[in-house]
Structure 1
């Protein structure tokens, strides 16, 4: 299959249980695109087909550049539906995490940027329900709202997303266990936007440490978590620079819905404040951290932004004594004359 509709397929981006996503090219518009095609083994299932089409319609209706936009819909000769989306060229956060944890301040900037993206989705009245590193794409940008980076987070894969008004009536447990809020695992319909807030916290924690706060391989693991448990402390990572991060993430990842932040943008404000504090108070700690491998295109781009910020801070600290000595020498020279 080299062509779908008017789109020339170039390479496979990813494949899941229900669909395959291809990178393609639109010759008419002269742009790269992403084409999502329903898997052939599900084509005869009316419920799966409808969910696939509902995802396309929902993504099309959301008027935010924080969500991948759908601009075409079609059907293959064998009857399988497909839809065409913007191609987001920066890869995913899963690719970033495959190289290990990030510098703590950079991880918090990314977490805040994710919280802003989720807040934009919630403003459209939609709950994502499956926020994981693999579903978070990186779009190159020169105007990122955090940390001076070069990318911003874009939400993708809204296959499980629902209107907030419908969420309380859902009874099927769905999501990715390690990033799933406990109330989603219960499948009793008792969840709202705060389930996404939980997932933002889980992703942020993973960016800082390289692993989710509560590793779970199944929904049973999610349900067996102690309701009074908190994520492992970040003190071994940050030492005296811990600030309020343990408290912020414990609230974000609280088992009980009522103990969490009500709004994703409130969480974003706190994460941004902590990221700025770390950059100001702990440049040495940040400089000692390894970010990403230089052998990966996406990783290199993100890592370079982090290293550039640390390098500027480092040169500033090194230059202060030199400037002081130069000024002293100049004063001695002038006085001596």
Structure 2
């Protein structure tokens, strides 16, 4: 359950995950619409708290079009919450669940996604979690204003060696995780890891199902 934050009024719960919950809210001081990502602090491990803080610190300094910088982070006795401006978009996963379109209708979105990943890489960031759940689009104009979210696993490193990590191997993320991310093959993680997630996402976009 998402705890109440002073100064904000929750209007809709968007996502409930194992580590965090995401809600749409109103900032009461000026009626601005915001998105609140709140950590399930009572159940979170020290590693998960660190990843949550890492995302805030990284995004606070990252200046990339299509990547939303946080407005503030709120610490309470019960939890930690990061507040973002609300673009009014929906996740690509939601859009895929709502409607089915011919594959060629998605081509402009595919180009926009590739360009967005390229901008992130140009900033020397590897995202490592590209999937329909972490892509935000305008439901009326999906190829305009594409945003990529959830930078909890992102890194500044150009290359790294993965280790066995249960959190990365959650069932819902497996179709989009590159083999080197599992730590079970002798391959380093680099920018090409994001290409795997992008390719799996585009495959699902065109066919209606993930490749594996």
For the structure 1 residues 47 and 195, does the alpha-carbon distance in structure 2 shift closer, same or farther, using more than 3 Å as the test?
same
- Higher fraction of strand: 2
What is the CA distance between 1:107 and its match in structure 2?
1.7
Query: Any idea what SS the aligned residue of 1:127 has?
Result: coil
CA displacement 1:172-207 (0-9 Å, x = unmatched): 442621112222233556111111112111111111
Counterparts of 1:189 and 1:42, CA distance in 2: 33
Residues 133 and 203 in structure 1, CA contact (< 8 A), matched pair in contact too:
yes
Structure 2 stretches lacking a partner, 5+ long:
none
Residues 137 and 143 in structure 2, CA contact (< 8 A), matched pair in contact too:
no
Counterparts of 1:20 and 1:183, CA distance in 2: 28
Q: Which runs of 4+ in 1 moved over 6 A?
A: none
What is the CA distance between 1:139 and its match in structure 2?
4.1
For the structure 1 residues 12 and 108, does the alpha-carbon distance in structure 2 shift closer, same or farther, using more than 3 Å as the test?
same
The answer on 1:154 being equivalent to 2:155 is no
Residues 162 and 180 in structure 2, CA contact (< 8 A), matched pair in contact too:
no
What is the CA distance between 1:46 and its match in structure 2?
1.9
Partner of 2:120: 121
The RMSD of aligned alpha carbons is: 2.3
For the structure 1 residues 186 and 47, does the alpha-carbon distance in structure 2 shift closer, same or farther, using more than 3 Å as the test?
closer
Residues 131 and 199 in structure 1, CA contact (< 8 A), matched pair in contact too:
yes
Partner of 1:269: none
Partner of 2:9: 8
CA displacement 1:283-308 (0-9 Å, x = unmatched): xxxxxxxxxxxxxxxxxxxxxxxxxx
The answer on 1:170 being equivalent to 2:162 is yes
Residues 88 and 138 in structure 1, CA contact (< 8 A), matched pair in contact too:
no
Partner of 1:60: 60
What is the CA distance between 1:99 and its match in structure 2?
3.8
Partner of 2:84: 85
Q: When the two structures are aligned, how many residues end up with a matched partner? A: 205
TM-score scaled by structure 1? 0.56
Task: For 1:171-186, list aligned pairs within 5 A.
Answer: 171-173=163-165, 174=168, 176-186=173-183
Partner of 2:37: 36
What is the CA distance between 1:100 and its match in structure 2?
5.5
Larger Rg: 1
Residues 171 and 189 in structure 1, CA contact (< 8 A), matched pair in contact too:
no
Query: Any idea what SS the aligned residue of 2:133 has?
Result: helix
What is the CA distance between 1:149 and its match in structure 2?
5.9
Structure 1 stretches lacking a partner, 5+ long:
142-147, 216-337
Task: For 1:171-320, list aligned pairs within 5 A.
Answer: 171-173=163-165, 174=168, 176-187=173-184, 188=186, 190-213=188-211, 215=212
- Higher fraction of helix: 1
What is the CA distance between 1:4 and its match in structure 2?
1.0
Query: Any idea what SS the aligned residue of 2:73 has?
Result: strand
For the structure 1 residues 151 and 110, does the alpha-carbon distance in structure 2 shift closer, same or farther, using more than 3 Å as the test?
same
CA displacement 1:92-151 (0-9 Å, x = unmatched): 11012114543222222111111111111111111111111011011479xxxxxx8663
Residues 37 and 82 in structure 1, CA contact (< 8 A), matched pair in contact too:
yes
TM-score scaled by structure 2? 0.86
Counterparts of 2:69 and 2:137, CA distance in 1: 14
